[in-house]
Chain A
């Protein structure tokens, strides 16, 4: 299985900050990297697919980048509703797909 490692595991930031979360794959996955946001007691929500495509309805302050093994999710100007846990997921190999361990974004 392809291993996905996110860093940091947790992050404290303030409203208005710019934050970046990193996801590293154990092998080359091309552009097949997706990002999700999960709030407590809720299902994950798709934010970005295939590295940089913004899912419909997701604010433009979210952006994704990278290729190969190293990927980023950036929130340009944090809003109160952005404090949540974020997961990356590779879909290069769908047998099985795998997720990162999550990055918890907390209010500083």
Chain B
């Protein structure tokens, strides 16, 4: 059974870079067939898709965040990471990593528990 776990600082200062890592167990990122994604949820709000990375390194970023987002993968550690630059209070949210089933169906069948990141000085 695949498990995902987010890790990283829970507090980031404005204008700095938010960095999170998702560690995957029970499945190999290198196997292909799945897209490794980041999704966030502002307090009390709905779900916002950030983007994905494939094991090959191919990425897609939501245009709403594209200029500030970078997602990378480390297949040797079975991890993928999110960097979000120039953060403001509006980036305060729970950040989830999730696995998306292939490019055709693209539903999120496994999720991390989520990690709250607060942007504040």
Contact = CB atoms under 8 A, between A and B. Distances in A.
Contact of B108 (A32, A50, A89, A102): A89
B62 A96 contact: yes
Interface in A69-108: 87, 89, 91, 94-102
A99 B46 contact: yes
Determine chain A's interface SS by DSSP, over half rule: loop
B46 A101 contact: yes
Contacts of B108: 34, 36, 44, 46, 89
Interface residues of B, number: 21
A91 B49 contact: no
Contacts of A98: 49
Contact of B47 (A32, A45, A95, A99): A99
Nearest to B116: A41
Most buried by A among B46, B60, B111, B112: B46
A43 B114 contact: yes
B111 A96 contact: no
Contacts of A96: 49, 51, 60, 62-63
A28 interface: no
A44 B114 CA distance: 10
